[in-house]
């Protein structure tokens, strides 16, 4: 659906780009001609993703860094730009999450997730935003949140609070930095199977329950997220800013709608019950 050189001449940093959804976005961007920079803490997935991009004919560089640490982020960007040239797009994808009853969270647990998601997003956004303002670059940022950024969610409190903060950051900066031509948008995926997310969040029979909550009847796919992330980085999205695009097969709408639970039952049964309630014709 996209021209093969759509992103030629562009350079994007994808945080957490060595695994899961970050990797999918990095690979797709590279396939469409962008030069890719990725970061994360573990070197092995970063190396592997860059090798796969190179094997497919793309250009990618990595650096190991912890997005919680502003100084480390600054150093990483200097190191990456020395290899890639100026970065003009950022995907804040790195995240931490786990299931835990909120009363059992240790200070370190809350701190860890909020620092990765909220501080990490701020650190990378400010480090590149400053450069873009100075260089008069029309940069673009995509923040990967999730639908509970506005709904909230039990048992993932640090993530919910941090993602809500990231959404507020997206909307705040979209207005503040529009004058510099910098765009910020968010993508809110529902469940998309990745090792990182599903190993931490889908214990026991939860995967089946999660699937049953999705009106579209299936989980999302990384390539669907990647194609949306391409659009938001592309020139076609020049006037799209401050937006959050949901990609969840209508999952969150269903959970908030009084009668939407009917969609979990076979439609013929639902119709039979509804019809049985209709007033009889006189």
3-state secondary structure of 120: helix
Instruction: Give alpha helix (H) positions in 2-84.
Output: 20-31, 43-55, 70-84
Rounded Cα distance between 41 and 223, Å, is: 24
User: Under rule CB under 6 A, which residues in 63-82 are in contact with ligand NAP?
Assistant: 66-68
Active site residue 231: no
Q: Token digits for 67?
A: 């997005």
Rounded Cα distance between 259 and 244, Å, is: 26
Q: Residues in the site for ligand HXC, rule: CB under 6 A?
A: 95-98, 100, 106-109, 112-113, 146, 159, 190-191, 196-197, 200-201
Contact 86, 131 (CB under 8 A): yes
202 binds, among ligand NAP, ligand HXC, none (CB under 5 to 8 A by kind): none
Q: Token digits for 226?
A: 């990647």
DSSP state of 187: E
Examine residue 41 and tell whether it contacts ligand NAP (CB under 6 A).
Answer: yes
Alpha carbon separation from 139 to 21, 97, 130 (Å, rounded) = 21, 28, 10
113 binds, among ligand NAP, ligand HXC, none (CB under 5 to 8 A by kind): ligand HXC
Rounded Cα distance between 36 and 87, Å, is: 9
Stretch (H or E) spanning 50: helix 43-55
Which residue's C-beta sits nearest to ligand NAP? 196
Examine residue 165 and tell whether it contacts ligand NAP (CB under 6 A).
Answer: no
Length of the chain: 282
The nearest distance, CB 236 to ligand NAP, in angstroms, is 23
144 binds, among ligand NAP, ligand HXC, none (CB under 5 to 8 A by kind): ligand NAP
Task: Give 261's contacts (C-beta < 8 A, 6+ positions apart).
Answer: 254
The nearest distance, CB 256 to ligand HXC, in angstroms, is 16
Q: Given the complex with ligand NAP, which of 53 and 137 has the nearer CB atom? A: 53
Alpha carbon separation from 231 to 49, 185, 225 (Å, rounded) = 22, 11, 10
Active-site residue, from 2, 29, 148, 231: 148
260 binds, among ligand NAP, ligand HXC, none (CB under 5 to 8 A by kind): none
108 binds, among ligand HXC, ligand NAP, none (CB under 5 to 8 A by kind): ligand HXC
22 binds, among ligand NAP, ligand HXC, none (CB under 5 to 8 A by kind): ligand NAP
Q: Given the complex with ligand HXC, which of 150 and 180 has the nearer CB atom? A: 150
Q: Given the complex with ligand HXC, which of 196 and 215 has the nearer CB atom? A: 196
3-state secondary structure of 29: helix
Q: Given the complex with ligand NAP, which of 49 and 234 has the nearer CB atom? A: 49
Rg of the chain on CA atoms, in Å: 20
Part of the chain binding ligand NAP (CB under 6 A), chosen from 88-96, 127-135, 167-175, 253-261? 88-96
- The residues binding ligand NAP (CB under 6 A) are 15-16, 18-22, 39-42, 66-68, 93-97, 116, 120, 144, 146, 189, 191-192, 194, 196-197
Q: Which residues are catalytic?
A: 148
């Amino acid at each position: 659906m996209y021209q093969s050189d759509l992103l030629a001449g562009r350079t994007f940093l994808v945080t957490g780009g060595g695994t899961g959804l970050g990797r999918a976005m990095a690979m797709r961007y590279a396939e469409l001609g962008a030069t890719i920079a990725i970061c994360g803490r573990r070197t092995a997935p970063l190396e592997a993703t860059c090798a796969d991009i190179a094997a497919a004919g793309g250009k990618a560089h990595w650096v190991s860094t912890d997005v919680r640490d502003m100084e480390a982020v600054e150093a990483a960007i200097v190191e990456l730009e020395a290899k890639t040239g100026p970065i003009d797009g950022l995907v804040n994808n790195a995240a931490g999450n786990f299931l835990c009853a909120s009363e059992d969270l240790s200070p370190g647990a809350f701190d860890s997730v909020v620092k990765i998601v909220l501080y990490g997003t701020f650190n990378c956004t400010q480090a590149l935003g400053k450069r873009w303002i100075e260089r008069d670059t029309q940069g673009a940022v995509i923040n990967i949140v999730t639908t509970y950024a506005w709904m909230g969610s039990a048992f993932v409190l640090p993530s919910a609070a941090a993602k809500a903060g990231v959404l507020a950051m997206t909307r705040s900066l979209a207005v503040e930095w529009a004058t510099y031509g910098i765009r910020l948008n968010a993508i809110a995926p529902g469940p998309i199977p990745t090792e990182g997310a599903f190993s931490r969040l889908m214990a026991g029979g939860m995967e089946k329950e999660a699937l049953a909550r999705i009106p579209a009847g299936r989980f999302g796919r990384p390539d669907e997220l990647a194609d949306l992330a391409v659009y938001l980085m592309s020139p076609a999205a020049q006037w799209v800013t401050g937006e959050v695009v949901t990609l969840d097969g209508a999952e969150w709408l269903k959970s908030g709608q009084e009668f939407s639970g009917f969609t979990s039952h076979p439609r013929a049964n639902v119709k039979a019950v509804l019809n049985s309630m209709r007033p009889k014709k006189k």
